[in-house]
Chain A
Amino acid sequence: MARIAVRPDNGRDRWPTALIYEVGGLTSGPGSLADDALTQAGFRNLARDLGIGTGGRVELEALLTRPPDLLVLAAEAGEFRTVAADNLRHPAIIWLGRTHRSITVPWRSWLCATPAVADAIERLATARQALRGGPRRP
């Protein structure tokens, strides 16, 4: 667990934003393990700004109106054969993936507090480094 270094809390509102987008349009907000992972990696969870609780839905139009600096997809579009995953195949998400930064971090990485969370945080932190060039100021 030594890999999970706690970052200082100051200036958090200037951190780049990230939003987790799961099957069914669900997202994870404050109080969730995924939210902690985002914070550890140096991201401000956009779900907080959208007023979403520990778990909630984010509508596509809200996502398109204010895209996060990093979109964290919790599954590949073709991974699950279910209407619940239609949102991941939506043309708007495909467009976001092309025009904005996005990564796929499988949801099972942060479903439970297992050592896999460390891998997820590492991948997020790498994405954070890549954003250093020009994170959008809120």
Chain B
Amino acid sequence: MRAWWRDSSQIPWPHLLAALVAATLALLALSLLTGPTGFGLPQAEARWLIMTEVRTPRALLGLLVGASLGIAGASLQGYLRNPLGEPGVVGTSAGAALGAVVAIHTGLAASVPLALPLGGLAGAAAATLTVIALAGRHGGTLTLVLAGVAVSAAATALTSLALNLSSNPFAAVEMVFWLMGSLADRSTTQLFLAAPIMIAGQALLLALARPLDALSLGEDVASNLGVDLARTRLLLVAGTAMTVGGATAVTGIIPYIGLIVPHVLRPLVGHAPGRLLTASLLAGAIMLLAADLLLRLVAPGGALRLGVLTAIVGSPFFIWLVVSTRTKLTP
């Protein structure tokens, strides 16, 4: 099973990896150097505060949330062997938002701050487990999408129910936050809450590299190669729940990053699911940081939300994917 894909690879792996790391670091620096009025360091009495409490959490959350969504998408697509496996499509994100909302409105998040990302994690895990139970690895694309739609709709309905029942007049504003995520005006409080959980989840998902490579040869071969299928599923569910749960709990739902990134990279890594994980981790960060930069340069003043931008870019891509896989979808 060693390197059977290497011949079809277009770019040598070390080169691709180096390019992705360089682009990630460049975009991180650009993000720190961009303010609401354009490019440059802040020119104000409070410039230190702006750098540490406004721009740094925004840039680092962009990095970590993008990486989380990218690797979660690559893991779900690899494990489910399904091109439409994505945290937003399979309901993981909607579940995470529900978990975070419950944590906030029961008052748990106010008394135990860590309850916020843990609530997101629990919601994401519940949604992912439900979809895997409904569709599984053999359910086919159509079953997976239908299961994802059902779980997403249920989670979104319960989120709006929770907000309706809560005693605050800002339910509509909050619903917008959860449905259309944003990095604007997040603070180091949210960064420190979610970062450890996101990083731990990314580490779990990176450990899926070998099992996913083996699984791409079929379950029997994978078992013969010593892959523990139950452990693989546990890693997948825990890893996606931690990455997507942590990310969504502090930024809301940012759709389609996990869908687009693995698809663009797959030919570049020679269709190797294991390498795709590392590449998607970096490219997810690149895509989210770039989208957030574009947002600030094209629509200054925070008029456009990040989740709206990725949805506008991602929807045509999703439709194209549906069209290109239609032969498999229609029985």
Residues of A within 8 A of B (CB): 23-25, 51-52, 56-57, 59-62, 64-67, 80-87, 89-92, 95
Interface segment among B69-77, B185-193, B216-224: the answer is: B185-193
Interface segment among B15-23, B102-110, B313-321: the answer is: B102-110
The answer on a CB contact under 8 Å between B302 and A81 is no
Q: Smallest Cβ distance from A83 to chain B, in angstroms?
A: 5
Residues of chain A with a CB closer than 8 A to B196's CB: none
Residues of chain B with a CB closer than 8 A to A67's CB: 46
Residues of B within 8 A of A (CB): 35-37, 42-44, 46, 49-50, 53-55, 100, 104-105, 107, 110, 166, 168-171, 173-174, 177-178, 184-190, 301-303
CB nearest neighbor in A for B172? A84
Q: Smallest Cβ distance from A48 to chain B, in angstroms?
A: 14
Contact among B36, B44, B170 for A82, CB-based, below 8 A: B170
Q: Smallest Cβ distance from B293 to chain A, in angstroms?
A: 14
Contact among B37, B105, B169 for A62, CB-based, below 8 A: B37
Tell me the number of A-to-B contacts counted with CB atoms below 8 Å: 97
The answer on a CB contact under 8 Å between A64 and B302 is no
Contact residues of A: prevailing secondary structure: helix
15 pairs of residues in contact across A and B, judged by CB atoms under 8 Å? A23-B173, A25-B184, A59-B184, A61-B35, A61-B55, A64-B54, A80-B170, A81-B168, A82-B166, A82-B168, A82-B170, A83-B100, A83-B174, A84-B177, A90-B53
A57 to B304, CA, bound (A): 11
Contact among B107, B173, B184 for A81, CB-based, below 8 A: B107
Q: Smallest Cβ distance from A92 to chain B, in angstroms?
A: 5
Please indicate which of the listed interface residues B42, B54, B105 has the most CB atoms of chain A within 10 Å of its own CB.
B54
The answer on a CB contact under 8 Å between A91 and B36 is no
The 8 A-B residue pairs with the shortest CB-CB distance in the complex, in nearest-first order: A84-B173, A84-B170, A65-B44, A64-B46, A80-B168, A84-B174, A59-B36, A60-B185
CB nearest neighbor in A for B249? A83
CB nearest neighbor in B for A85? B170
A64 to B54, CA, bound (A): 10
A113 to B293, CA, bound (A): 40
Residues of chain B with a CB closer than 8 A to A59's CB: 36, 184-185, 301-302
A60 to B177, CA, bound (A): 17
The answer on a CB contact under 8 Å between A91 and B53 is yes
Q: Smallest Cβ distance from A103 to chain B, in angstroms?
A: 20
Assuming A25-B185, A59-B301, is B170 touching A64 (CB within 8 A)? no
Residues of chain A with a CB closer than 8 A to B188's CB: 91
A60 to B36, CA, bound (A): 9
Residues of chain B with a CB closer than 8 A to A23's CB: 170, 173
The answer on a CB contact under 8 Å between A64 and B44 is yes
The answer on a CB contact under 8 Å between A65 and B50 is yes
Assuming A59-B36, A81-B105, A81-B168, is B53 touching A24 (CB within 8 A)? no
The answer on a CB contact under 8 Å between A95 and B173 is no
Contact among A52, A61, A81, A89 for B54, CB-based, below 8 A: A61
The answer on a CB contact under 8 Å between A81 and B104 is yes
Residues of chain A with a CB closer than 8 A to B189's CB: 89, 91
Q: Smallest Cβ distance from B290 to chain A, in angstroms?
A: 19
A66 to B174, CA, bound (A): 27
The answer on a CB contact under 8 Å between B49 and A95 is yes
A92 to B55, CA, bound (A): 11
The answer on a CB contact under 8 Å between B187 and A65 is no
Residues of chain B with a CB closer than 8 A to A83's CB: 100, 104, 174, 177-178
A59 to B37, CA, bound (A): 10
The answer on a CB contact under 8 Å between A87 and B170 is no
